[in-house]
Amino acid sequence: MLAAVVAASGTAAVIDLRTGRIPNPLTATVAAAGLGLAAFGLTGHSVTGALVGAVLGFVLMLPGHLFGGTGAGDVKLLAALGTWLGPGGVLMAFLYSAIAGGLLAVAHAMKRRRLGTTLSRTARLVAAREGAKHEIDGSAAASRFAYGPAIAVGAIAAALLV
């Protein structure tokens, strides 16, 4: 399972870094493989566990997408990886991804010499959530970054611990 999670999430991360997107055929293949192998008892959990992992991964990532912080491909990637990781593993992957994503955001802001601005804008977003989506959508394209690598780090860490 670890090799599959590394291959799938690593491929998604590389593609996301190069194109800014995670392709549907990749996430669909990862999900189908996870469900298929769960059916044969090769993932450590049942098909029901794989489905619950997929739904949980989707539900955990969806708010980030609805508020404009992540792309739809990120949501589908964590859902697909949930078929391999199961419910407990995908929850851990989500938490580790959030930590990795935060570190990547800080590194990205530092590279652009905008750490102070980024931190103050983040504080404003947290304090006044009603305008958060509009402000995120209106941010400069240069302030956005691929989240696929953060998901890959989170999924691999979770796979190592499951």
Instruction: Assign residue 62 a region (left: φ > 0; alpha: ψ between -120 and 50; beta: otherwise).
Output: alpha
Q: How confident is the model at residue 154 (pLDDT cuts 50, 70, 90)?
A: very high
Residue 54, H or E segment:
helix 47-66
Amino acid at 29: T
Among 7-11, 33-37, 108-112, 148-152, the range scoring the smallest mean pLDDT is 108-112
What's the residue count for the chain?
162
Predicted confidence (pLDDT) per residue in 42-101, tens digit? 988 999 999 999 999 999 999 988 877 789 999 999 999 999 999 999 999 999 999 999
Per-residue pLDDT, 150 = 96
